[in-house]
Amino acid sequence: MDLCNIDDIRAVLGRHGFRFSKSLGQNFLTAAWVPARIADSCGVDQTGCALEIGPGMGCLTEQLSQRAGKVCAIELDRALFPVLEETLAHCDNIEIVQGDVLKCDLAAICREKFGDAPVYACANLPYYITTPAISALLASKSFQAITVMVQKEVAERICAPAGTAAYSAFSIYIDYYADAEILFDVPRNCFVPQPKVDSAVVRLTPRSTPPVPVCDEKLFFSLVKAAFGQRRKTLANALSSVLGGSLGKEGIVQLITDCGFDARVRGEKLSLADYAALTELAHQRLD
């Protein structure tokens, strides 16, 4: 059986009376080169293990199984379990776990299923949970690399440098925790049902330490969030929700100019290192 062949897909799903759920982001791959390339790029080999989110009917799971020592796949939709039992019957190193990736303890699952082996996360992520799923994968600190397919615009946001249109609070969040790169694009006609957007595969390699030291992470991320929450405002105005009560408008402008920026600068012009410097000075002045 070819798990990306549209006739095989329809036949298997029909046998099990399966219907695609839009709300679960179920767009399955129909181009065999895509799961093969994701599995090739994720870095896993026989000495390592793969954790997959959302196996669907198993096309990426099968590719990972051929390269990894062991694969564990977390699937939310119980209706896919009899399908996966049939499609992956020939693979003996795969375990499917029922659960919601956003509610699972990913670190505990990795420890329980893989022990001390290096683990690589892989997924064709459902669009509706892209950001929280990536955050959960990074926060678990369990992976050598996280290789995921996401909406193309999200991939661009993840990897965007400061000052570009796609640059966002999420770009800084990712850059703080990981080295990110876009590996390749995947057009919308590679899926059934066909989504309205194109996709891209990104690989995140978690950092052992942040690229720049940050004295107060909570303050750093609240400044970044406030700065991008109101993109059309100047940085000084945007930061008033976090710092206005303590520093006042004039104190915020002073802070920004003391960091070497124009008083009317916008948040999207500042790099991660700039926000780290701003945090350092704000932290001192809030004491």
Residue 286 binding ligand SAM, by CB under 6 A? no
Nearer to ligand SAM, 137 or 159 (CB): 137
Cα 175 to Cα 181: distance, rounded to the nearest angstrom: 10
Residue 102 binding ligand SAM, by CB under 6 A? yes
Residue 60 binding ligand SAM, by CB under 6 A? yes
Nearer to ligand SAM, 115 or 132 (CB): 132
Residue 100 binding ligand SAM, by CB under 6 A? yes
By beta-carbon distance, which residue lies closest to ligand SAM?
54
Nearer to ligand SAM, 101 or 239 (CB): 101
Shortest gap between Cβ of 26 and ligand SAM (angstroms)? 5
Question: Applying CB under 6 A, what is the total number of residues that bind ligand SAM?
Answer: 23
Shortest gap between Cβ of 31 and ligand SAM (angstroms)? 10
Residue 166 binding ligand SAM, by CB under 6 A? no
Stretch that binds ligand SAM, among 25-33, 87-95, 227-235, 246-254 (CB under 6 A): 25-33
CB 227 within 8 A of CB 250: no
Residue 75 binding ligand SAM, by CB under 6 A? yes
CA-based nearest residue to 31, from 204, 199, 202, 203:
199
The β-bridge partners of 28 are: 192
Residue type, 286: L
Report the residue count for the chain. Answer: 287
CB 202 within 8 A of CB 189: no
List alpha helices for 140-216, DSSP H: 152-159, 169-177
Residue 25 binding ligand SAM, by CB under 6 A? yes
Cα 154 to Cα 163: distance, rounded to the nearest angstrom: 16
List alpha helices for the chain, DSSP H: 6-15, 33-41, 59-67, 81-87, 106-114, 130-139, 152-159, 169-177, 217-229, 235-238, 240-258, 272-286
Residue 55 binding ligand SAM, by CB under 6 A? yes
Nearer to ligand SAM, 48 or 55 (CB): 55
Q: From the list 1, 24, 162, 212, which residue makes contact with ligand SAM (rule: CB under 6 A)? A: 24
CA-based nearest residue to 201, from 160, 156, 245:
156
Which sign does the torsion angle of CA 83, 84, 90, 92 carry? negative
Nearer to ligand SAM, 122 or 270 (CB): 122
Q: From the list 101, 119, 154, 186, which residue makes contact with ligand SAM (rule: CB under 6 A)? A: 101
Cα 39 to Cα 20: distance, rounded to the nearest angstrom: 24
Shortest gap between Cβ of 191 and ligand SAM (angstroms)? 7
| Site residues, ligand SAM (CB under 6 A) | 24-29, 53-56, 59-60, 74-77, 80, 100-102, 124, 126, 129
